[in-house]
Amino acid sequence: MFKNSLKSFLFSIAAISSCSLLSVNAEVLTVAEKQQIEKLKNTALNSDLSYQIVESLTTEVGHRMMGTEGDKRSIKWAVNKMKALGFDKVWTEDVTGPKWLRGEVKASIVKPYPHDVVAIALGGSVGTGEQGITAEVIHFKTLNDLKAAAKGSLTGKIAFVSYQMDRHIDGDGYGVAVGTRVRGASVAAQKGAVALIMRSVGTDNNRFAHTGMTRYKDGIEKIPAAALSNPDADLLVNQFKRGKPVSFYLKLTSSRFSTETVKSANVIGEITGSEFPKELVVIGAHLDSWDVGTGAIDDGLGIGMVLASAHHLAQLPKRPKRTLRVILFAGEELGLLGAKSYMKKHKDEINTHVLGAEWDFGLGKIYKMIPGVGASSLNVIRELAQILAPMGVALSPQNNGRADSDMGMLTDAGMPSINFAPDGASYFDYHHTENDTLDKVNSEALKQNTAVYTVFAYFATQAEIDFRK
Amino acid sequence: MFKNSLKSFLFSIAAISSCSLLSVNAEVLTVAEKQQIEKLKNTALNSDLSYQIVESLTTEVGHRMMGTEGDKRSIKWAVNKMKALGFDKVWTEDVTGPKWLRGEVKASIVKPYPHDVVAIALGGSVGTGEQGITAEVIHFKTLNDLKAAAKGSLTGKIAFVSYQMDRHIDGDGYGVAVGTRVRGASVAAQKGAVALIMRSVGTDNNRFAHTGMTRYKDGIEKIPAAALSNPDADLLVNQFKRGKPVSFYLKLTSSRFSTETVKSANVIGEITGSEFPKELVVIGAHLDSWDVGTGAIDDGLGIGMVLASAHHLAQLPKRPKRTLRVILFAGEELGLLGAKSYMKKHKDEINTHVLGAEWDFGLGKIYKMIPGVGASSLNVIRELAQILAPMGVALSPQNNGRADSDMGMLTDAGMPSINFAPDGASYFDYHHTENDTLDKVNSEALKQNTAVYTVFAYFATQAEIDFRK
Please report, for the domain that includes residue A145, its CATH number: 3.50.30.30
Q: How confident is the model at residue B26 (pLDDT cuts 50, 70, 90)?
A: low
Q: Is residue B330 domain-shared with residue B236, that is, in the same domain?
A: no
Whether the CB-CB separation of B160 and B137 falls below 8 Å is answered with yes
- State mean pLDDT over B224-252: 98
Is residue B467 assigned to a domain?
no
| Same domain, residue pair B368 and B456 | yes
Residue of A nearest to B233 (CA): A439
Of A59, A115, A206, the CB nearest to B235: A59
Cβ–Cβ < 8 Å for A294, A438: yes
**Distance between B183 CA and the closest CA of chain A, angstroms:** 28
Same domain membership, residue B391 and residue B288: yes
| pLDDT tens digits for range B124-180 | 999 999 999 999 999 999 999 999 999 999 999 999 999 999 999 999 999 999 999
In this structure, the answer to whether residues B412 and B265 fall within a common structural domain is: yes
Domain presence at residue B62: yes
**Do B210 and B275 belong together in one domain?**
no
Question: Beta B89-101 vs B255-271: how paired, if at all?
Answer: antiparallel
Helices B31-45 + B378-388 axis angle, to 10? 50
Q: What's the confidence (pLDDT) of residue B258?
A: 86
For B356-366, the pLDDT digits (tens) are: 999 999 999 99
A240 and A297 within one domain: no
**What is the DSSP-derived secondary structure letter of residue B254?**
-
Q: List chain A residues with pLDDT less than 70.
A: 1-26
Q: Are residues A68 and A197 in the same domain?
A: no
* Count: domains in chain B: 2
Does some domain include residue A82? yes
Check CB contact under 8 Å for A234 and B205: no
CA angle (A125 as vertex; A122, A127 as ends), nearest 5: 120
pLDDT at A158: 98
Contacts of A62 in chain B (CB under 8 A): 113-115
In a domain, B127, yes or no: yes
Alpha-carbon torsion (A275, A277, A282, A286), positive or negative: positive
Identify the sign of the CA torsion A426, A430, A432, A437: negative
Say whether both B293 and B243 belong to one domain: no
**Least CB-CB distance to A115: which of B62, B114, B234?**
B62
CB B422 within 8 A of CB B452: no
What is the tens place of the pLDDT at every residue in B72-107?
999 999 999 999 999 999 999 999 999 999 999 999
For B239, the domain range is 103-253
Residue B151 lies in a domain: yes
Q: Please tell me whether the interface predicted TM-score (ipTM) of this complex is above 0.90.
A: yes
Pairing outcome for strands A255-271 and A89-101? antiparallel
Q: How far is A108 from chain B (nearest CA, A)?
A: 12
Q: Which residues of A294-314 are buried (b: 16+ CB within 10 A; e: fewer)?
A: bbbbbbbbbbbbbbbbbbbbb
Residue A466's SS3 state is coil
B81 and B21 inside one domain: yes
Say yes or no: B296 and B387 in one domain: yes
A6 to A383, A391, A420, A449: CA distances (angstroms): 13, 11, 19, 20
Which of B124, B86, B125 has the alpha carbon at shortest distance from B316? B86
CA–CA distance, B403 with B392 (Å, rounded to integer): 20
Choose the final residue of a domain: A187, A222, A253.
Answer: A253
Q: How far apart, in Å, do the first and last CA atoms of chain A sit?
A: 30
**CA distances, B370 to each of B376, B378, B388, B394, B406 (Å):** 15, 11, 13, 9, 17
Task: Identify the CA nearest to B404 among candidates B390, B396, B415.
Answer: B415
Q: What is the structure's pLDDT at A401?
A: 97
Neighbours of A468 (CB within 10 A): 15
The answer to the question of residue B468 being in a domain is no
Q: What confidence tens digit (pLDDT) does each residue in A369-414 have?
A: 999 999 999 999 999 999 999 999 999 999 999 999 999 999 999 9
**How confident is the model at residue A5, as a pLDDT?**
37
pLDDT tens, position by position, A321-357:
999 999 999 999 999 999 999 999 999 999 999 999 9
Last residue of a domain, one of A233, A253, A273: A253
> In chain B, positions 193-212, which contact chain A (CB-CB < 8 Å)?
205-208
For A436-461, what is each residue's pLDDT tens digit? 999 999 999 999 999 999 999 999 99
> Do B245 and B342 lie in a common domain?
no
B91 and B223 in one domain? no
Task: Please give the sequence-ordered ranges of beta strands (E in DSSP) within A24-163, or none if there are none.
Answer: 89-101, 105-111, 115-117, 119-121, 133-140, 158-161
B61 reaches A (C-beta below 8 A):
yes
Q: Does residue A340 lie in a domain region?
A: yes
- pLDDT of A424: 97
Note the pLDDT of residue A27: 78
Report the CATH number at residue A437: 3.40.630.10
Share of chain B above pLDDT 90, in %: 94
| Domain termination site, one of B203, B230, B253 | B253
